[in-house]
Structure 1
């Protein structure tokens, strides 16, 4: 049996973190493909302009505000989408934040907040959505990771840790999801020009415009396999780098990021540390 792949004729696409960045661009692209798109973001991140921009497209967008860290709220949002718009056939769990974690300024709440949004923000939506899909006998879920999952990078102890966990989550669930005719994909983009990457203090080779990243994701949803990663000129070298002995890998990363020459700074935090507001958009 061919594993199910979402089709706009079958139902609704739900995107979390859809008020800006990749989520917003993806909502527009899916609406242009004919999807009815349910977009979730924090209540103070309105998507009114997105609704206007997609009004003449084959599909349409509707807002379902929710905090992805609210387990009960996410379950209620999934139920509300199903009741108001129809069955969720495609769920893209995209909401995320980036909080820099330099080794000399570790703060427990930065790690907790990162996992609450990036990892449990997926789990809180995945659990109720998959139950609906299991009953119907088909579904398609997309978990948004990052190339930072491939190896440790400076300041990404929290962020990269969540993205590595997302990849393992997807790999582990695939065994049983395949049996339930639920396709699971993990998207591992490189650096994309979004409000989230503006917090990044590291060099960002191959920085992609958000519209190009969104189109790659749509192509992956329509035709891609388990993992979709882009751009290749960045993601594949990073994959190969991760296969090297760890001391060599860390040496290369330290040189290419300039981190080996960076002095420790005990007097101030880097941009994106705990005093930086958190995001729920990627």
Structure 2
């Protein structure tokens, strides 16, 4: 089981993907709770807006899909803090896509940001956590990774890969005292989900999602999923046989 975190005062937290959405809200909430926060995203100006009036943070702009850029940000963090207590990968890209709209370039970009970047992030962070003998790493995936869904032709598989990756990490790292958290939100109002042209049930604000994320860290569970009224339905669908799942999802989504 993961170590609980109920007091964030002085905790060194790195958030990659913090210029908007859950990442930005989480950065502001952590600053308010006394954490030492490092924020990363491609745009320095957007990171500056996140912390404006919220407190002081270490701003480390980088591109999650560029290994050299990400490694450089990590090196700066280590030089400043000599370690990290919690690192969370929140970077994500999403383009609604059906089979007849498959775009290889856009698909590749989603794969690079949503999954490959998370692997690079892990390769940076985990050796340091092992040297320290403590700390936690987390990944924001999605309930869209539970099973194939309409308009999620590439996004869903990247999140499914991230879920599987986090599970394997937990198996390896839990016995060594390193925490691994898998964060699976439902719909959250962000610039990415604003692209959707369908009704999003149980839609959360980024602020509500950030609070739910930190509430999850106060427990020991591997998976932090929210809102429960939606994620429970998605978990149930994930266990249905295909002969029942496919027609039910088509009926529910109008696909």
Scaled by the length of structure 2, what TM-score is found?
0.94
Match of 2:156 among 130, 154, 160: 160
**Deviating more after overlay: 38-47 vs 248-257:** 38-47
1:243-265 deviations in whole A, cap 9, x for unaligned? 11112112111111111xxxxxx
Local SS of the residue matching 2:73 = helix
Give matches, 1:52-131, under 5 Å. Answer: 52-55=52-55, 60-131=56-127
Which residue does the alignment assign to 1:202?
Answer: 198
> For residues 175 and 235 of structure 1, what CA distance do their matches in structure 2 show?
23
More relative contact order, 1 or 2 (CA 8 Å, 6+ apart): 1
Which residue does the alignment assign to 2:176?
Answer: 180
- Judging by fraction of residues, say which structure has more helix: 2
> For residues 103 and 158 of structure 1, what CA distance do their matches in structure 2 show?
10
Task: State the 1:89 CA deviation.
Answer: 0.9
2:38–2:59 CA contact under 8 A, matched in 1: yes
Which residue does the alignment assign to 2:239?
Answer: 243
**Deviating more after overlay: 226-235 vs 42-51:** 42-51
Asked if 1:43 corresponds to 2:43, the answer is yes
- 5+ residue gaps, structure 1: 260-282
Asked if 1:148 corresponds to 2:173, the answer is no
Which residue does the alignment assign to 2:26?
Answer: 26
2:18–2:39 CA contact under 8 A, matched in 1: yes
> For residues 194 and 3 of structure 1, what CA distance do their matches in structure 2 show?
29
Q: What RMSD, in angstroms, separates the aligned Cα atoms of the two structures?
A: 1.6
> For residues 160 and 179 of structure 1, what CA distance do their matches in structure 2 show?
30
Larger Rg computed on CA atoms: 1
Scaled by the length of structure 1, what TM-score is found?
0.85
- 5+ residue gaps, structure 2: none
> For residues 228 and 149 of structure 2, what CA distance do their matches in structure 1 show?
19
Local SS of the residue matching 1:46 = helix
> For residues 210 and 92 of structure 1, what CA distance do their matches in structure 2 show?
16
